[in-house]
Structure 1
Amino acid sequence: MAYLLASEVQQLLHNKFVVVLGDSVQRAVYKDLVLLLQKDCLLTTKQLRAKGELTFEQDTLVAGGQLDSLHNGVHYREVRQFCSEHHMVRFYFITRVYSEYVEDVLAELQSGEHAPDLVIINSCLWDLSRYGQSSWKSYLRNLENLFERLGQVLPESCLLVWNTAMPVGDKVYGGFLPPHPPPWPIPLRDFLVQANFYSSTEANKHGFDVLDLHFHFRHRAWKHLQSDGVHWNEHAHRQLSFLLLAHVAEAWGVELPCRSPPRTPRGSPPGDAPAWQWEQGQPHAASPLGSSPPPPKRRSLLGSPPAHLRLRPLLSPPPPLLLSPPPPPPFPCYLQDNDFASDHFFQSDQFYFHSDVPSPPQTEFASEADFTYGPQPPPPGFPSPCYKQRAPVVYRGFPRYCAPAPYMPWRGRPRRSKRWAPIRPESRPQ
């Protein structure tokens, strides 16, 4: 996972229009993204719990919220927008995955001055808990209608990312729950798994991207989940932002820097430290020199046996083999003619000798019956072999091994959208 700084996020989203649609969890996604576009720090607990405030980190409340009325009904509205010189992020609070209000939002995006470059959307908990006994069937039907309309409204250059619903606790206390929640056939945390499966399948069917947040946070609920069993703390949302931005960078063909998070001092407030200075485990205390302390040494469960109880090898190691040089040839070596050249040629770069003694040049020989005998030359220190067999090739290097990861750097062009272009009837001449 990539750990990004505010300057790198600004470069990634430079001149981009980002739209976030969803419930209170997606509102926290919007807030953390707006904060990360400006400075390297985490959200505070007060900022995460705030609802419908007039301003947050230089953004503007466009509609709903404190401008209208604060309530927990299905008709609650909240539209926020952060706009800088080169960035624009907008948030729409929705309580149903597809409705008349969602249709109005799509019409506004379609007729607006700027077309969205990135759309992040999710809706699940309100759909399953606030719309009666037939909420499951209506949710499946609305999913199909939503993705069909998104394929018609959004331009081909727009990247849509469907976020799956994040895990919930065993006991849920949320404002989205009615006073008497409907009896679910299975627990809500298991019901979300089925809803995420159908929603991601429908998104893939229409060619949209899916970011499985339920998979990434399935083992972190005990540490980053809030007491209400629905919302998450600032550390989880920063990790969510990193996952989302890494997915977007891969889709746009942008290579992110590979940076491991440094350790933070124990007891330091998370809001004061840089946003990327945290990790999944407990923070460790920093040493006075600024370097991380060495990891603790782990001892084996069973110690080494005493010397008198150690087993001896069954067989003694064989003695080393000593290769004696072959006897000198009974006749002097003459270079053979070009007519008797061998079919096998050796290249000097195919061998790599580990001995300090330089090897003599390779020479080919041929045995004929009309050789004349003469005085034998002195045997060389390291005789050259007189064989016509090809020697094995010793490779000096190995191919580079790249460890698998869920987000590998993309070094090519941005991938094209998987959606089919909408069919438009061509005008024919009269």
Structure 2
Amino acid sequence: MELMKCVSHQQASQLLHNKFVVVLGDSIQRSVYKDLVLLLQKEKFLSTRQLKSKGELCFEQDCLVEGGSFDKMHNGTAYREVRQFRSDHHLVRFYFVTRVYSSYMQSFFEDLRNGLKPDVIIFNSCVWDISRYKSSWLENYKENLHMFFTQLKRNVPQETLVIWNLTMPLGKSIKGGFLVPEIEHKASHLRYDVIEANFYSGTLADAYGMDVVDLHFQFRFSLQHRTSDGVHWNAIAHRKITSLLLEHSAQAWGVSMPLAAVANTEVGAHWPANENSTPTERHPSRRNYSYGERQFSDFLTNPAPHYLAQLPLRSGFDYRPPNGHHQQNVMRRQRVRLHYVPYVHPKYRH
């Protein structure tokens, strides 16, 4: 029985109390969104059906805002899907994108300008970019990355935590919705293109002052959790992704959040074996970073007010700037920025 360290439902719910989280990207990022939505409500893993479904009208109390089942379902680059989960104290939104910067992204930036300001933005766009548009993708991809990061810097507050996820490892033999017959000849070397694309996107995100979480590195020895299509990943992998992202968010906000060991058998599902898998190399236990005197448990008995209640910021938050320790799950520790009270931040007042 393999044990892994995970963020619990209670920890996730409390850490993101009164927070607005935006997730952008492809089908893998949609599963990142789904696992986060599920964890905010209950201590369960995603089912196989939930991972494979797309465009459904409702998933675990969320709603389809646009695209998906409202329109014709297809695997083209024009496919759109916007989802949103809203509870008394949480707001999570997902945008399906097939290109890191395009005319469609203008609607996303319009939402940023006119709506609530996100506390966290989690984003990745790569596989569609380098396979579906141009055979010589490199210069175009770098140009679009520059355009997207520039617009993001202009339209989000400085205190917003922006996390760029590097693309996870692809298999030798792959199949998926993005891999239409016209580009099947690219499948054999796409995994190498992803490595090159990760280098450029991670370097540029770092240069623009954003946090970079290297999921390719994190899952290089966890290929047994990749599904048989060589592209997607099972519920165990997605819970680990959620834990990595929330652990880093807690550290960025100056909160110590110890993770609990969970048995993989709790997933309760049998996943198709991947012929490209290799034996697991157990990841060493991560150190417990504490950036201040306040512990995560302090907030469990002192919750923040309703997300939409227009209450003043609570004073007396005991925050200390992060120390010099480097977060081992992040390419580069983001430079110290002006911080805010992480559990009560009604940005609609700004």
Give the aligned partner of residue 291 of structure 2. Answer: 410
Instruction: Return the match for 1:47 from 47, 50, 62.
Output: 50
**Aligned match of 1:323:** none
Task: Report the equivalent of 1:358.
Answer: none
Query: Corresponding residue for 1:73?
Result: 76
Question: Which protein is richer in helix relative to its size?
Answer: 2
Cα 1:70/1:407, change in 2 over 3 Å? farther
User: 1:165 Cα deviation (Å)?
Assistant: 0.4
Contact 1:250 1:407 in 2 (8 A): no
The C-alpha deviation readout for 1:142-165, integer Å capped at 9, x for no partner, is 011111111111101100000000
- Matching residue of 1:90: 93
Q: Quick one: which of 28, 33, 36 aligns to 2:31? A: 28
Quote the offset at 1:4 in angstroms: 2.0
Question: Shift of the alpha carbon at 1:65?
Answer: 0.3
Query: 135-144 or 70-79, which moves further after superposition?
Result: 135-144
Q: Is the 8 A contact 2:172 2:188 kept in 1?
A: no
Which residue does the alignment assign to 1:210?
212
Give the match for residue 228 of structure 2. Answer: 227
Separation in structure 2 between the aligned mates of residue 135 and residue 182 of structure 1, nearest angstrom: 16
Q: C-alpha separation between the residues in 2 aligned to 1:262 and 1:127?
A: 36
Matched, 1:190 2:192: yes
Contact 2:122–2:163 (CA<8 Å) still a contact in 1?
yes
1:264 deviates by 4.9
Q: Structure 1 residues 125 and 80 mapped into 2: Cα distance closer, same or farther (>3 Å)? A: same
The 1:51/1:262 distance shift into structure 2, 3 A limit, reads: closer
8 Å CA contact 1:156, 1:419 repeated in 2? no
Separation in structure 2 between the aligned mates of residue 213 and residue 191 of structure 1, nearest angstrom:
16
Question: How far has the Cα of 1:133 moved from its partner?
Answer: 2.1
1:102–1:15: structure 2 CA closer, same or farther, 3 Å change rule?
A: same
Structure number with the bigger relative contact order (C-alpha 8 A, sep ≥ 6) is: 2
The answer to whether the aligner puts 1:105 opposite 2:104 as a matched pair is: no
Identity level (%): 49
Classify 1:54/1:202 alpha carbon distance in 2 versus 1 (closer, same or farther; 3 Å): same
Q: In 2, are the aligned partners of 1:80 and 1:92 still within 8 Å (CA)? A: yes
Q: CA deviation at 1:230?
A: 0.4
Q: Would the alpha carbon gap of residues 407 and 135 (structure 1) be closer, same or farther in structure 2, given more than 3 Å must change?
A: farther
One-letter amino acid matched to 1:410: Y
> Which residue is equivalent to 1:16?
19
State the partner residue of 2:119.
Answer: 117
Cα deviation, residue 191, structure 1: 1.3
Runs of 4+ in 1 over 6 A off after TM superposition: none
Greater gyration radius = 1
Look up the match of 2:63.
60
The answer to whether the Cα contact below 8 Å between 1:203 and 1:209 also exists between their aligned partners in 2 is yes
Residue 189 of structure 1 deviates from its aligned partner by 1.2
What TM-score, normalized by structure 1, do the two folds share? 0.63
Letter in 2 for 1:197: F
Q: Which residue of 2 aligns with 1:237?
A: 238
- Checking the alignment, whether the CA contact within 8 Å between 2:121 and 2:160 is kept in structure 1 is yes
Instruction: Summarize the Cα distance change of 1:227–1:185 in structure 2 as closer, same or farther, 3 Å threshold.
Output: closer
Query: Any conservation in 2 of the 1:15–1:87 contact (CA below 8 Å)?
Result: yes
| CA deviation profile, 1:303-360 (whole Å, cap 9, x unmatched) | xxxxxxxxxxxxxxxxxxxxxxxxxxxxxxxxxxxxxxxxxxxxxxxxxxxxxxxxxx
- Whole-angstrom distance in 2 between the partners of 1:14 and 1:36: 13
Distance 2:212 2:287 in 1: 14
Which residue type is aligned with residue 36 of structure 1? L
SS in 2 for 1:89: strand
Pairing partner for 2:134 from 107, 132, 135: 132
Match runs of 1:244-393 below 5 Å = 244-261=245-262, 264=265, 269-270=268-269
Secondary structure at the residue paired with 2:93? strand
Give the counterpart of 1:150 among 138, 149, 152: 152
Q: CA RMSD in A?
A: 2.6
Residue correspondences, number: 289
Amino acid at match of 1:234: A
Among residues 133, 141, 144, which one is paired with 2:143 in the alignment?
141
Q: Distance in 1 between matches of 2:288 and 2:143?
A: 32
Q: Secondary structure of 1:261's partner?
A: strand
Task: Give the Cα separation in 2 of the matches to 1:270 and 1:22.
Answer: 26
Structure 1, residues 49-78: CA drift from partner, whole Å, max 9, x if none?
001000000000000000111000110000
> Which structure has the highest strand share of the two?
2
CA contact (8 A) 1:247 1:407 kept: no
Stretches of structure 2 that go unaligned for 5 or more consecutive residues are 271-278, 293-318, 323-332, 339-350
1:216 & 1:145 partners in 2: Cα distance?
28
- Code of the residue aligned with 2:258 in structure 1: it is P
User: Separation in 1 of the partners of 2:264 and 2:201?
Assistant: 38
Secondary structure at 1:246's aligned position in 2? Answer: helix
* Structure 1 residue 244: Cα displacement: 0.9
1:426 corresponding residue in structure 2: none
**Distance in 2, Cα, partners of 1:130 & 1:152:** 28
Using the TM superposition, give the Cα deviation of residue 36 of structure 1 relative to its aligned residue in structure 2, in angstroms. 0.2
Instruction: Indicate conservation of the 8 Å contact 1:246/1:407, yes or no.
Output: no
Indicate if the aligned counterparts of 1:208 and 1:419 stay in contact, CA closer than 8 A. Answer: no
CA distance in 1, matches of 2:207, 2:20: 25
Query: Residue 258 of structure 2 contacts residue 288 of structure 2 at CA under 8 Å; is this kept in 1?
Result: no
Q: Is the Cα–Cα contact under 8 Å of residues 321 and 336 in structure 2 kept in the other structure?
A: no
**Structure 1 residues 189 and 14: CA distance shift in structure 2, 3 A:** same
